[in-house]
Structure 1
Amino acid sequence: MDIVLATLDAGGNVAPMLGLGVELAGRGHDVRVIGHPQQRATFEAAGLDFHPYAHATPWDPIAPKSTLPGLWGYIHQLTERAKGEDLVELARDASVVVVDCMLLSALDAAGSAGLPHVALVHTFHAYFDGPWRAGPIGIASRLKGLNPRRVWAECDAVVVCSDPSLDPAGARAWPDTFLWTGPVQPRTEPASPASPPRVLVSLSTISFPGQRQVLQRVLDGLADAPIELVVTTGPAVDPDELRVPANATVHRFLPHDEVMAGCSAVITHGGHSTSMRALAHDLPLVIIPMHPLLDQPMVGKAVEAAGAGVTIKKSSKPAAFRTAVDTVLDDAHRDAAAAIGARIRAIDGAVVAADRILEVAREA
């Protein structure tokens, strides 16, 4: 089958689409990906055929942005008609197209062109159907004729790549077109903690206001703790700008699975991808939401309610981060994280998602 995946460069949304593409290609299907030009290396490294948007507005998620211009730029990325036009041009003969659920214009264009199409949800659907839809993004989208609920309802399937027991929407009744697959991520094993305890700190690859300052307060607060801190900054923060204590190392990039395999806990911003990776390794979390309009506060609340972590404000004093880490290193938080980890490892989200997408293609 000929399958086209439509994505955008927005951080944690990329990994599930990439994992799905690899799974489909591994089954012998022809997979083409359309996305922002800077995503080429990521998808081609996985052996996938990549096509950049020809007419879409450029977007750099790493460049620092003030709140209002950043928000309006983001809304434009999700609703501009050019992405839909580029997708339809590429996918005229495709068996099925899979589109990031945020790309409302592309989903709408696929439906209008009569293409079998699937929306891929990369985090809690409760976030997209709640704060995202009710907030500035949803309001602006409706003004442009792109009501999110209508666009998703018109899809042949909506695949939610999350754990239905953590996603607040997972317990509600949904149409048969909706399916929770579990997270789409590489298969993992429970961590074997090192001694002294190793704690990974990873806030985001996307630039958020105050990110460097938060990392510095985390480092300062844990400087005297009997732990090993491993910090990854991604492209958003220059490691040379941080004061690094003796018990810490700071890196632009490290393979998280390799680091997590020896960790006892993870400090993160609450992005769905990093949080699910940690839980799949049975690791409890300290979650520092970096942006109130994104899914991070909801992910933090769900993890905390499950007993697998704590949420702390990004404005917290250094000492509060030490208290939070001490809290999640206890047996209760480790046991709760391990219960979630076992559930995530029991289901291969990429396999379940690919099966559903191919079912849509066969039924078209």
Structure 2
Amino acid sequence: MRSPCTTPPRTSTCGSCGGATSGCRAGTPNAPCGTWWSRSTRERETMGKKVLFALWAGGGAVPPALSIVRALRERGHGVRVLADRSLHGEVAAAGGEPVAWTTAPQGDTSDPDADVIKDFEARTPLGEFARLRDRIVCGPAADYARDTLAELRARPADVLVAEHVLLGALTAGEAAGVPVASLVTTIYPLPAEGAPPFGPAFAPAAGPLGRARDRIAGGLMVKPWAKGLPALNAARAASGLAPVDSVVDAFGRADRCLVLSPRALDYPGRRFPGNVRHVGPRLDDPAWAGDEPELPPGDAPLALVGLSSSFMNQRRPLERIAAALGTLPVRGLLTTGPAVDPRTIRAPGNVLVVKAAPHGPVLRRAAVTITHAGHGTAVKSLAAGVPLVCLPQGRDQREVARHVEHAGAGVTVRGNASPRAIARAVGRVLDDPAPRRAAGRMAAAIAAETAADAAVAEIEALAGRTPASAAGYAP
């Protein structure tokens, strides 16, 4: 007869006794009885916390956040995710409990008609920025704050984790007295000393003239936020908070700003605010990526092509890339993403066109990645030691491409480059060993940064500050 299990009651059964012994509910599936007692004090104190995420249908920003959701669930925390309904399947696949926004905008970036910001309609970078400010960051801030506060009242949380552009959700956390972490899923985009302002894709300054350029451009980059300040302060007033002097100040009010980007990819001289933590990129493939396809036959170098997972009018750039690869002695795997039907892409015989593929395993065989320089695709390629050819289409992509070039790990061509120009760039990266060596150095740095899950550790530390029942909105 088995003796009683010494593991304190938990919510999942023990891998050693299978839950057959009296009172066994070990915290870690497939762990031997008694494992709970060997956990560190900090782990015991943070087990079983209630975490509320706030996300929007922001394309490439979603998979990194859901990777953290998955990791928290695997560590035994309860995770709810306020999100657009179009994300609920992905949230559930990550182990989170989806909760719909009720008054905040609902979007679907794979469908251009359902996209909230429709930045692909903008004619200039400033137009793209204005759409994000007015349709997500500031314009509907009161709606995001109202929905987040309602969820915190209904079911208190120990910590709120929100995508950093959802200032309304971050406002709600501040009003509720809940520890708050914001997630930045690209290179840190806010003002910081020691580097050019984010946006123009400047190279780092050299000498007094370069530093003057950065000061002037930095002021110009902050100015457009002013138009969003009245709506943001209205949201703060409705939540019982004092106004802020600027939208940029509001971004800095989170207890922690977790940057899901390699510190090694940013400029070494850059100095960040005290609440910023670089916690390393998330390298998981999204749930919709599916299985690895059968690659084109042969042993020619493999070129992976991936533009955006959201709609950016990318059909023509995809076809130009396919045409370029048709002139080279390579094999191509072109992933269109959910927003483009692969049947609409004309491609030569050496290029396989699919809707999606898990980039992780494909990159282990790839010689080059051709991409819009979206942060997710770029960083996964660098983590695998694969150099890049970047064709920025908008958003943060010009900055990511600039940082890849600065690291020596790739080259950039215009977003509307011709097949001939693209072919020349691909040939250059394949023929020159320097980009691959630089990508290898970046891979080593990323491996070191991701050896431990710093994002989860930071969130658990915040969650340990305040029990949910004391968070100010207990029913």
TM-score normalised by L of structure 1: 0.91
Determine which of 287, 300, 306 is the counterpart of 2:390.
287
2:22 aligned partner: none
Q: Is 1:126–1:167's contact at 8 Å kept on the other side of the alignment?
A: no
Distance in 1, Cα, partners of 2:334 & 2:425: 17
1:95 aligned partner: 158
Determine which of 283, 299, 321 is the counterpart of 1:218.
321
SS at match of 2:265: coil
Q: Is 2:69–2:95's contact at 8 Å kept on the other side of the alignment?
A: no
Q: In the alignment, does 2:404 pair up with 1:303? A: yes
Determine which of 426, 429, 445 is the counterpart of 1:328.
429
SS at match of 1:98: strand
Distance in 2, Cα, partners of 1:156 & 1:231: 41
1:27 aligned partner: 75
Which is further off, 139-148 or 26-35?
A: 139-148
Q: In the alignment, does 2:259 pair up with 1:160? A: yes
1:63 aligned partner: 111
Q: Which runs of 5 or more residues in structure 2 are unaligned?
A: 1-48, 113-117, 200-217, 234-245, 286-297, 467-475
Q: Is 2:109–2:339's contact at 8 Å kept on the other side of the alignment?
A: no
> Which structure: larger Rg?
2
Question: May I ask how many residue pairs the two structures share in their alignment?
Answer: 354
Q: Is 1:43–1:50's contact at 8 Å kept on the other side of the alignment?
A: yes
Distance 1:312 1:348, change over 3 A: same
Residue 182 (structure 1) shift = 1.3
1:261 aligned partner: 364
Which is further off, 139-148 or 230-239?
A: 139-148
Distance in 1, Cα, partners of 2:137 & 2:109: 13
Identity %: 32
Amino acid at match of 1:44: A
Which is further off, 127-136 or 311-320?
A: 127-136
2:180 aligned partner: 117
Which is further off, 214-223 or 281-290?
A: 214-223
Residue 97 (structure 1) shift = 0.3
Residue 290 (structure 1) shift = 0.6
Amino acid at match of 2:60: G
Determine which of 28, 37, 54 is the counterpart of 1:6.
54
Determine which of 402, 424, 445 is the counterpart of 1:343.
445
Q: Which runs of 5 or more residues in structure 1 are unaligned?
A: 188-193
Distance in 2, Cα, partners of 1:4 & 1:163: 25
Q: Is 1:123–1:162's contact at 8 Å kept on the other side of the alignment?
A: yes
Distance in 2, Cα, partners of 1:284 & 1:321: 14
Q: Is 1:20–1:350's contact at 8 Å kept on the other side of the alignment?
A: no
SS at match of 1:60: coil
Determine which of 42, 51, 59 is the counterpart of 2:99.
51
Q: Is 2:164–2:183's contact at 8 Å kept on the other side of the alignment?
A: yes
Residue 135 (structure 1) shift = 6.3
Deviations 1:137-176 (A, max 9, x none): 73433242363422222211111111112124x6433333
Distance in 2, Cα, partners of 1:350 & 1:100: 22
Determine which of 168, 173, 191 is the counterpart of 1:105.
168
Deviations 1:60-103 (A, max 9, x none): 32333421797665432233121221112223421000010011
Distance in 2, Cα, partners of 1:349 & 1:208: 34
Q: Is 1:19–1:350's contact at 8 Å kept on the other side of the alignment?
A: no
Distance 1:212 1:139, change over 3 A: farther
User: After the TM superposition, which residues 185-200 of structure 1 pair with which residues of structure 2 at under 5 Å, given as runs?
Assistant: 185-186=283-284, 195-200=299-304
Distance 1:171 1:25, change over 3 A: farther
Which is further off, 345-354 or 104-113?
A: 345-354
Residue 220 (structure 1) shift = 1.3
Q: In the alignment, does 2:131 pair up with 1:76? A: no
TM-score normalised by L of structure 2: 0.70
Determine which of 237, 243, 249 is the counterpart of 2:340.
237
Distance in 2, Cα, partners of 1:39 & 1:138: 28
SS at match of 1:34: strand
Residue 131 (structure 1) shift = 4.3
1:191 aligned partner: none
Distance in 1, Cα, partners of 2:344 & 2:273: 50
SS at match of 1:249: strand
Q: Is 1:266–1:285's contact at 8 Å kept on the other side of the alignment?
A: yes
Distance in 2, Cα, partners of 1:160 & 1:324: 30
Deviations 1:246-295 (A, max 9, x none): 1101001111112212111101111111111111111000111011xx11
Q: Is 1:185–1:349's contact at 8 Å kept on the other side of the alignment?
A: no
Distance in 2, Cα, partners of 1:184 & 1:159: 12
Deviations 1:3-27 (A, max 9, x none): 1111111111112211111111111
Distance in 1, Cα, partners of 2:148 & 2:190: 26
Amino acid at match of 1:253: A
Distance in 1, Cα, partners of 2:399 & 2:91: 29
Deviations 1:164-211 (A, max 9, x none): 12124x643333321111112239xxxxxx8210001000011113x1
2:280 aligned partner: 182
Q: Which has the higher contact order (CA 8 A, sep 6+)?
A: 1
Q: Is 2:327–2:423's contact at 8 Å kept on the other side of the alignment?
A: no
Determine which of 121, 142, 148 is the counterpart of 2:229.
142
Residue 112 (structure 1) shift = 1.9
